[in-house]
Structures are given as structure tokens and as C-alpha cells.
A and B are shown apart, each in its own frame.
Chain A
């Protein structure tokens, strides 16, 4: 085989039907799946649930992407990117499902790029800035513990598409939670500085936690995980101090709009473009 082989074939196979990079094409990711909403399911409620879960995932992925080239070690670059990619993948599937369920037929990009902050339904914990590595880890621990417990329930949702998305997500989220828990223990147990920072991160996260439990009842599971991790890390359980308002109702911190401005800027500058 010639050294040049891989390069020489580059321009071949780029006809319209062969845009193959990352999957087989530009169709929606649920292509080939029966996407009719089953009888007895409130399609608008289903769509709203999918949008909220997708918004959590997209906003989290965006914050994780901000870590790239800034992580404390190369292994963490790889791991945080991996988690971000998983969440981005979940967001794409959930937006597609929402577009089918709400009858608008919108695609994933319509939801991600052409809604304003007030239309986003993510929890505020996902949107607040990354802070230091301890804050990002504690936030990831909370969000992934909650999302894993919630997805385990959703895996038996009467909508087969959402159930399948959740079942796939469970495997990913189990890894996210494990990654965050291991780091929380290392940081809590490690040095005085890492202990202090992690303790502070727990306090900073606490006000945003209540919002997670408004729509689903997985509080006991999440508290149990948190108890186990803080015990192993030698950290106190955070005291819950609820913050008024809820991202689930479109009430956000001042941090969401700038996050979306960055995410949406190029797409909105070229609304007629194809990417």
C-alpha cells in the first residue's frame, strides 16, 4: 500500500448521497424508528419533557466544552469531552423526539439555535459558570446522579422512543456519575486546599438542587448517592437552601443568555446556510 493512499481517495465518494461522516447522513437520528406517539400519551407533555431533558444536556455539554484545553490533566480533557459528547448525543435525540411529539416537526437545530433564553427549560444548575474544577465536579455529580436515577425510571416510559433514549443514556450516565464521584472523593480526601474547595463547591451547588426534584421523584436515590460520596470524601452533606424560581419555567440566571449567544451566534448570523 502506498503511503499516500488515504489522502488520494479524499475527494472520492462525496456525491450527495454519500455524506457519510459520523453516521450515514443528515436525516434525523431517529430515522427508521416508528415515531408515532402511542395512544393515551399526552404528546404536548411528552414534548415538554423531552425539551427540558435536552436543554439540561445541551447546556451541560456547552459548559463541559468550555473545559477543553483548560483541564488540569490530559486524561481529564479526554474524560470531560467524552461526557460532553454523550450529553450532546442525548440532547440531539431528545430534540428530535420533541419535534415529532409537539407536531411542529422542528429538527434538533431549530430547538438548539433558534430559541431564546426564556424558552429554555434547563435547570439553573446546568447553566451557572464552570467555576473551579471542584465546582464542575460537584455539579456533575449532582446532575449525573439525578439524571441517572430519572433515566432509569424513564426507561420504562410508555413512549417507546423516549424509553429507548433513556435506556441508552443510563449506560452513559452511570459512567458520568462514577467519574464525578471518584473525583469528589479524591478532592475531598486529597489536600487541605482541595478539601476546602470541594466543601465550598457543595455549598454553592446546594441552592440549585431543589429544582431537580420538581418534576420527578428521585430525591431519595440522589441523596443516598450524595451521602455515600461525601462520607467517603470526608465532607459534610450540604445544607439545602432553596432558591426561588425555576429554570423549568423559563426563569434563569443571568448566565444563560451569554452562553446561548456564544452557542447560537454563527448559526443565527447565517440563517440560510447549510452546515
Chain B
């Protein structure tokens, strides 16, 4: 019986068709997806923090509105993704606990601090840009609810990236101090952004199986290369320098050569020793703990309402 189901599943994957929530799927596929979608959801929620810090300080009302809306979108992305994970049998409260207890990860990029308002622009350009490179292929992921959530998320990410780049364009046309802020932010975010694509292919343990299941469609190194190739001309147009002395066009390959990110740093940040890991987790934990009485009140009220309705129906 399981063999037949497995064959049917394999055939669906190989025909590039979608797996849907009620379809049979191997346990490993389900576990991998829950882990990936939950990590993605956690990243959206933790990712609200570095930029969210600047909503109250944004230097014009227009920028305040844009940033406020952007951070709100991220909460929305977190919600769709937790919902997609729930179609696989996961539970949002349980996933949140796993995050808070450090049993599930989020993208290491959010463990870096935002030092000036230019960081808001650079995060939009690099971090949302890298997210787009990673996520656009996921719109063709084999799991239906995830793929569909990604379509909507990618549209919004693309908007976020544009607003970030547009902010930087505006700042580069402003004062010398603003241009320095932009270059400084580019210097700090470039390497962590390259690390967003994950470890190099030869040391990425889960990649091969995810590629075979078509949960993932391109390798980490391939996505990283694409990101570099797309970003270099945008940096030229903006008038900033990417902080990599080895970065140059390779005519033979038709792609850019670039330096090697500090993989030890990535491992340290993933393990919890980045500049802001504790701060990010503490904020999420305290929001969750301080909100407990509110969630309990909502549950208690709903139960009382249901009881009153039942009593009313009986009477």
C-alpha cells in the first residue's frame, strides 16, 4: 500500500505537479517542509525587529508610512506561512514555542543591528533582494499551499525591495553625510546578505534531498551567484562600492567572480553568537509572555460566549 502511495507521490513530483494537504506524502517530506516553512515564518516575524526599530524615528512622514506598511506586511507574511505550516499538521502556538525555546531557527541576517536610517534602505535592497532570489523559485515549489503563499509574498517583497532602493537613490542625491550613511550601511550588510543563501553547496546537508523533492529548485551557490550578478550593476547606478576587493567581471564565465564570505561567522551567528541574537529572542519571548493574559482572555471569552449561546438555545 505504502509503495503504491510512494509511487504516486514520486510521479506527481516528477510531472511537476503540486502536492496538496490531503495527499499522501512521505514523513520526511512533511517534516522538511514544516521545518522550512516554520523557519521562513519565524524569519518574517523576527525580521520585523531590525527595521521596526526605525518606524518611530523615520525622518519624514512619508518614509514613516512606507516603513510602517512594510513591517506590517512582514507580520502578514508570517501569518500566511504559519497557516501553510498548519496545512501540514503543525500548530502555530507550538511553532512559536519552538522558536522561543531556540529549537527552531530564523534567518541569521536578522541578528545584525540597524545603525542608521540608511540601513532601512539597504535591508530593502539587499535583504529583500536576496529573499526574492531565494523565494521566487519557491513559487514553483512542489507543495501547493507553500508555493501559493510565496506568489503573494514575492510580490510584496519586490515592492519592499523597490522602496529600499528608491530610498537609497534619494539619499545619494542628498547631503554628503547621507551618502556616507548609505556606503556605511552597504559595507555592513553586503557580506551577511551573501550568507543568506546558506552554506556553500559542498557543505549544505539538506539541499540534495530538498532539490530531489522539488521543495527547493536551485542550489545555494547558484542563487548567490545570481544575486551578485544582479546587484553589481545596481550598485554602479547607485554610486556605491560593494566591499569586496575580489569582485570583478569574468568575461569567460559571463558572470562575476567574488570573494568568499566568512563562513565561520555564519556558523557563529547561526549558533547564537551574532551581535543581536539575544536581543531578538528576548523581544519575541517577552512579547509572547506579556501577551499571554490577553490570549487567555480571548479564549475564555470565546468559551463563555459559546456556553451562553448553548444555554440560550436550550432555553
Contacts and interface: CB of A to CB of B under 8 A. Distances in A.
A112 B57 CA distance: 12
Interface stretch (A45-53, A71-79, A213-221, A242-250): A71-79
A194 B298 CA distance: 9
A109 to B, nearest CB: 5
Contacts of B72: 68, 77-78, 81-82, 85
Chain B CB count within 10 A is highest, among A3, A8, A193, A273, for A3
Interface in A36-88: 58, 61-62, 65-66, 68-78, 81-82, 84-85, 88
B175 A272 contact: yes
Given A66-B56, A186-B297, A187-B297, A275 B171 contact: yes
Contacts of A211: none
B300 A190 contact: yes
Chain A CB count within 10 A is highest, among B175, B226, B299, B300, for B300
Contact of B61 (A108, A265, A270): A108
Contacts of B125: 10
A77 B75 contact: yes
Interface string B105-121: 00000000000010000
Chain A CB count within 10 A is highest, among B171, B237, B294, for B294
Contacts of A197: 293
Contact of A133 (B65, B136, B286, B291): B291
Interface residues of B, number: 72
Interface residues on A, range: 35 or more
Contacts of B52: 68-69
B269 interface: no
B237 A193 contact: no
A193 B61 contact: no
B215 interface: no
Nearest to B293: A193
B49 interface: yes
B170 A19 contact: yes
B59 A185 contact: no
Contacts of B117: 266, 275
B106 to A, nearest CB: 13
A11 interface: yes
A189 B60 contact: no
Contact of B133 (A7, A186, A262): A7
A239 interface: no
A7 B230 contact: yes
Contacts of B55: 65, 68
Interface stretch (B14-22, B155-163, B188-196): B155-163
Contacts of B281: none
Contacts of B137: 3
A84 B61 contact: no
A7 B132 contact: yes
B62 interface: yes
Contacts of A31: none
B267 interface: no
A274 B226 CA distance: 32
Nearest to B64: A88
Given A81-B72, A270-B177, A186 B301 contact: yes
A78 B75 contact: yes
Contacts of A167: none
B75 A74 contact: yes
A240 interface: no
A85 B61 CA distance: 10
A224 interface: no
Interface in A178-227: 185-187, 189-191, 193-194, 197
Contacts of B171: 273-275
Nearest to B71: A68
A69 B174 contact: no
Nearest to B133: A7
Given A69-B287, A71-B287, A194 B294 contact: yes
Contacts of A95: 61
The 6 closest A-B pairs by CB, nearest first: A72-B291, A190-B297, A194-B297, A81-B72, A72-B294, A267-B59
5 contacts: A4-B133, A14-B169, A61-B64, A81-B75, A189-B301
Given A6-B161, A21-B66, 8 more contacts: A11-B237, A19-B170, A58-B61, A61-B68, A72-B295, A88-B64, A194-B293, A275-B59
Interface of B: 45, 48-49, 52, 55-66, 68-69, 71-72, 75-76, 78-79, 82, 117, 125, 129, 132-133, 136-137, 154, 158-159, 161-163, 165-167, 169-171, 173-175, 177-178, 226, 230, 233-234, 237-238, 283-284, 286-287, 290-301, 304
